[in-house]
Structure 1
Amino acid sequence: MVKLQVEVNNACIQPFVFCFYVSGHGWGHATRANQIISDILRLPAQHKVYVISNASSFIFQGVTNVGAIYRQADIDAGVVQPLAYTVDRQQTITNLKQFLHQRQSILMDEIAWLRQVKADCVICDAPFLPCAAAAGAGIPAAIASNFTFDEVYNGLCEGDALDDDIKEGVKVVIQDYRNADLLIRLPGAIRIPSFDDAVELVPSTPTLYEPTPTPINPSKGIVNGKTQLPSISVATVLSSRLSSKIERRIVDVPLVFRKYHKNRKQVLEELGIPSSIYDTHRILLLSFGGQVLGKAEWKQENPLPPNWICIVCGAPDNIDLPVGFYRASRDAYVPDLTNAVDVVLGKLGYGTCSECIGHHTPFVYVPRPQFIEEFGLRKLMQDQGSAVELHREDFEAGRWGSALEEAAQLSGACDEPERLVGHNGGPIAAKILEQFVVEWNSKKSASSPQQHTLVAAAAATAAVTTTIATESNKTSTPTTNDLSLEVPPLNTR
């Protein structure tokens, strides 16, 4: 059992209404938002949380089961991905233009709804329009993410006529994001233009037709160039609000990720894998959702090396899986699978990266150069986990063997104990968000210089010495980044 202890000020705070807007682009937004929402709901004040998204309510069942309230709404344009590792550039920008054309109507609807539910705070991961809606409703807004969509759209510039549409749209997106006064920046970040604090280790994102820039300062921190977490810096970009009540800040937090619930043996046996197989084979988790399963090449030659089996997430029922492949149920809890396998194969998304790092599972990734978030996540995996690249052509042709065997020899963990990232970003983010609203409300009623320290104090309470005890071979080294919580021991492979 890993026990993380810290002394936290549990002063009595009134319950707030948090409205958490979550992008429907990919599951990574939802999984990490779910973790922060769960931690907000665990705070003693018994806050109310609405989760607003164009993603299916199915993704949020875990938090709605414990009290969050789901509302479906089209609140972002997102990115169009025909496959998990490709972007439809033209359709993505067309969708953005259509969304911006409807922006005023959607904005008015959101302002009215926020007033109706008596919202105290908007949190975004990472739609931009809700930040402007918060300003219209007269309440604070925060962003909790490792990227924002302005930089993603910027990354689609290719030096052609479509670039003009991209740049015009990005201007509006940045202005909306600038209505937020707090950025909770997650590990694996890229530049966030609406807050840009000019840290060289989070460089300006390269575009597709320009070379990747070399960081000016190549020294290593824990994540995002920070040597201690949580870490507070002041935004260098001013607020879009005419009279912002507080100083805009960036708080870099430890890893936010979902932890496993079931042990390895239980997970594998529930999938129908007998011990005679899982004790004698290495196990791969394929986390693409099955978009290319059933290719002719795979039927002619199994892509798995000898003595390997594979668990597939999201494989449609109408697809016949090759020999040695097992289908995970639609509602499978992916962290359980990640903890149970030897290697994960997928794309560089925050959810997969964070859960691989958190469970010390090596990762084989298929690059997706059109999606700029990858630059921050690749660095995160290189610094904190174990990652092996598999070219798209080799993935689609079923040439997986050498990459899987290479990954299986890796530890899945950072080899520099003093730089290990903490695993409790969710509780820290929840506490900081709570104090953010306290600070905002106090500034509404009276302007007091002392109140500027509230968010800083909330972060500082988390940065204390951790005591840690473990009885697993897959363990974390003591850090100074953890709030009080219990973490079950990770399974020994």
Structure 2
Amino acid sequence: MGLMPGDHSSYHLVYYCSGHGYGHATRVSAFARHLLSLDPPPTVHIVSSAPKQVFTDSVAVGALYRNADIDPVIVQPLAYRVDRQKSVEVLQSFLRKKDMKVLEESQWLKDIGADCVLSDAAFLGCLAAHQAGIPSVLISNFSFDSVYSYLSTPFIDAPPTPEPDLFDGLPAQVAMALPPDIPISEETLAPLVDEILSGFRCADLLLRLPGAIPMPSFSVLPGLPSPSWVDLNTRTFTEEVITHLKEPPSSHLLHPCTEFSDQYASKSLPRTAISAPLLVRSPNPSVYTAEGRRRLLNIVGVPPYLHNPEQIKILVVSFGGQVFRKPSSRIHSRSPSRAGTPGAFASAMTKSLNGIQREVALSKPSDLSKEYFPDPARLAAALRSTSLFDGPASVAASPGLPPPKPMTTGRASSLKIPGAPPVAVPMSPPNKFASKSPGKLSLPALHTIPPSPVLAREVKAQDTYPGWSSSVEEENEEDLPRLLPDDTWVAIVCGVSKEWGRENGEELPPGFYVAPRDIYMPDLTAVADALLGKLGYGTVSECVDACTPFVYVPRPLFIEEHGLRLLLESEGVGVELSRSYYEKGEWADAVQEAYVRGRDAKAKKRQEGETGKRRKEGREMARGLLDWLDRWKAGTRAMDPDPQAEEDTADIGHDNE
């Protein structure tokens, strides 16, 4: 009996998700949820080398998960650096097993009765669907043929300059451990890239996400190699490429479809490329309320007197998907620092519920459990094992927005951020609000070394902040790295394990807090006034959705970043922070600049709250995809290949161009 139009309950969709980075997983999980929200819903299988827990949102509502090695990965020794040679070696190893893997996956697709493959952005899934005689859909803002092709760019990604006086020799060892950055020849890359390209050429439909770069497996122009797309002088896409990306993909000249083998019928619909809406995980609506914000910050461990958004601003530091290295034993103290309570600061960092007022935690455990901890038993155990903090619920009137000043300190230490070299960290006095909290933990005894002068930023503070006349000489203060603009800011660091910091002392400066590993990032991004991290789709999309200004450290060898920069320019706020300033701990000016540029949009977003716009767009995109599959199954050619057809893309979503 044939499938009736609009009856999608019998459809089996297989979603192949690249294991490279959490951005793929977050949007795959988001779109799987949209598909499963339809009535009736299809069956959705997710296949990925990424761990099951990153798909928790969709698995919780019925998605089926299978772990499989279905794509190679770009090797990144640091969050923003690519090892070209090892990346090519990983690709070569994967391609040697490609034919066997395609055979295994295509047989599995037949065994489960799959109707269609979705891919983000694993070319193996498209190849397996082709061999199984079913259609495939590429849902992405880029494809890995372009990424691997870009490894031939003549741009040299030099390692950080060692400054042993500042870090006691540790960055020198980090730099020495990094291999020299040597471009891979086009002759070496071309046949490897062609194998990836041929896989994506099997896809029948492209749903191009915002933040896109050219898709050479669909559009005839611009073609590979991808280094030709970038102007080395400006480090941006050429004008021709930018013009191409501003056009709706349905207007582009496309490569023809790759027909099935003779054992299957001809493909029933023309090859099509369409703009899709932003796929992003939505925050919980309650996080935009005072109560929801308070709950989230309690869980992070931020004391209540720092919860008022009119008085305190929050910087979230996240280099998603990277390993947070523990402090090295090579970082040692050269001189004593102020006394602290041994172990107290480490306890504050490692206990995820530190900071929840006792009466709140014990009277409303169900609320906390429901919104942030899926397992109530885990919450109860955390409450039993956590030293809860009781502090005042309010602070004095807002001091306003004082001009940024150097942090008054005479010592410096180092801070490890996920996947990155050590960051220069100044020891500063307690936050000026600390005196209002008698119960506040005392400062840790951080390992310190003598101060080192820091270079001035390219943009003078007087140019950025009119009226600011304070100077180091006037204040008689040391020139040291400034992580935060002033003491009305706190920082929340993501990606650290609960055991971090126990072995080698306390490494976080005052005003810094550690988020639990399982914190729901869209909620944290929503409460943030700025976010610092690497350029990746997951972080960019969540910042755009929450109107959170993004301070990003560039990844010059990962070509996707050029499309994401364009997205930030058109839909959000992005401020680049060079690696040298990031590693020196000179974050403050970039953070302040991003905050000032984005604060009006952020205030408006906080006032309107979570509107459900992204969920609505995602459901429309999901419904349109299944309608397209209906037409495929019916053997029609109903989708008009004419560019004008994109104006009617209620079928798939909406045009973001």
Q: Does 1:310 align with 2:491?
A: yes
Report deviation, 1:409: 0.5
1:320-362 C-alpha deviation (Å, 9 max, x unpaired): 3222111111111000000001000011111111111111111
Residue aligned with 2:597, SS: coil
Counterpart CA distance in 2 for 1:296 and 1:151 is 32
Partner of 2:246: 225
1:82-108 C-alpha deviation (Å, 9 max, x unpaired): 111111111111000100000111111
Partner of 1:236: 254
1:421-464 C-alpha deviation (Å, 9 max, x unpaired): x7454223312321222122111xxxx44466899989836389
Counterpart CA distance in 1 for 2:97 and 2:495 is 33
Q: State whether residues 20 and 49 of structure 1, in contact with CA within 8 Å, keep that contact through their aligned partners in structure 2.
A: yes
Q: State whether residues 157 and 208 of structure 1, in contact with CA within 8 Å, keep that contact through their aligned partners in structure 2.
A: no
Partner of 1:190: 213
Q: Does 1:258 align with 2:385?
A: no
Counterpart CA distance in 2 for 1:432 and 1:205 is 32
Q: State whether residues 277 and 655 of structure 2, in contact with CA within 8 Å, keep that contact through their aligned partners in structure 1.
A: yes
Partner of 1:276: 305
Partner of 2:422: 295
Counterpart CA distance in 1 for 2:241 and 2:128 is 37
Report deviation, 1:58: 0.9
Q: State whether residues 203 and 215 of structure 1, in contact with CA within 8 Å, keep that contact through their aligned partners in structure 2.
A: no
Residue aligned with 2:543, SS: helix
Counterpart CA distance in 2 for 1:162 and 1:92 is 14
Q: Does 1:165 align with 2:188?
A: yes
Gaps of 5+ in 1: 1-9, 415-421, 465-478, 483-493
Counterpart CA distance in 2 for 1:432 and 1:16 is 14
In the TM superposition, 1:87-166 aligns within 5 A as: 87-158=82-153, 162-166=185-189
Q: 1:439 aligns with which of 612, 627, 631?
A: 631
Residue aligned with 2:152, SS: coil
Residue aligned with 1:410, SS: helix
Amino acid at match of 2:648: A
Report deviation, 1:212: 4.3
Partner of 1:44: 39
**TM-score by structure 1 length?**
0.82
Counterpart CA distance in 2 for 1:238 and 1:91 is 34
Counterpart CA distance in 2 for 1:127 and 1:12 is 28
Q: State whether residues 278 and 541 of structure 2, in contact with CA within 8 Å, keep that contact through their aligned partners in structure 1.
A: yes
Partner of 2:238: 214
Counterpart CA distance in 1 for 2:572 and 2:219 is 26
Report deviation, 1:244: 3.3
Q: 2:51 aligns with which of 36, 40, 56?
A: 56
Amino acid at match of 1:173: I
Distance of aligned partners of 1:26 and 1:208 in 2 relative to their CA distance in 1, 3 Å threshold: farther
Counterpart CA distance in 1 for 2:654 and 2:133 is 36
Partner of 2:537: 350
Partner of 1:486: none
Counterpart CA distance in 2 for 1:286 and 1:88 is 24
Report deviation, 1:63: 0.9
Counterpart CA distance in 2 for 1:454 and 1:207 is 32
Amino acid at match of 1:440: W
Q: State whether residues 143 and 180 of structure 1, in contact with CA within 8 Å, keep that contact through their aligned partners in structure 2.
A: yes
Q: Which has the larger radius of gyration?
A: 2
1:259-313 C-alpha deviation (Å, 9 max, x unpaired): 1114123211222223322323211000115453393722555622322111111
Distance of aligned partners of 1:199 and 1:165 in 2 relative to their CA distance in 1, 3 Å threshold: closer
Q: State whether residues 156 and 207 of structure 1, in contact with CA within 8 Å, keep that contact through their aligned partners in structure 2.
A: no
Amino acid at match of 2:623: K
Gaps of 5+ in 2: 155-182, 261-265, 288-292, 326-415, 428-480, 502-506, 603-612
Counterpart CA distance in 2 for 1:481 and 1:143 is 16
Residue aligned with 2:425, SS: helix
Distance of aligned partners of 1:481 and 1:172 in 2 relative to their CA distance in 1, 3 Å threshold: closer
Report deviation, 1:166: 1.4
Amino acid at match of 1:365: Y
**TM-score by structure 2 length?**
0.62
Report deviation, 1:162: 3.9
Report deviation, 1:216: 3.4
Counterpart CA distance in 1 for 2:552 and 2:204 is 35
1:351-394 C-alpha deviation (Å, 9 max, x unpaired): 11111111111110001100000010001001110111100111
Counterpart CA distance in 2 for 1:208 and 1:101 is 34
Q: State whether residues 649 and 655 of structure 2, in contact with CA within 8 Å, keep that contact through their aligned partners in structure 1.
A: no
Report deviation, 1:207: 8.3
Distance of aligned partners of 1:456 and 1:334 in 2 relative to their CA distance in 1, 3 Å threshold: farther
Q: 1:428 aligns with which of 620, 625, 628?
A: 620
Moved more, 332-341 or 313-322: 313-322
Q: Does 1:80 align with 2:75?
A: yes
Counterpart CA distance in 1 for 2:590 and 2:315 is 12
Q: State whether residues 554 and 576 of structure 2, in contact with CA within 8 Å, keep that contact through their aligned partners in structure 1.
A: yes
Q: State whether residues 617 and 654 of structure 2, in contact with CA within 8 Å, keep that contact through their aligned partners in structure 1.
A: no
Distance of aligned partners of 1:206 and 1:273 in 2 relative to their CA distance in 1, 3 Å threshold: same
Counterpart CA distance in 1 for 2:570 and 2:203 is 30
Q: 1:394 aligns with which of 581, 591, 598?
A: 581
C-alpha RMSD of the superposition = 3.1
Counterpart CA distance in 2 for 1:299 and 1:218 is 41
Amino acid at match of 2:106: I
Partner of 1:327: 514
Counterpart CA distance in 1 for 2:199 and 2:192 is 11
1:106-162 C-alpha deviation (Å, 9 max, x unpaired): 111101110111100100000101101001111100000000000001111146564
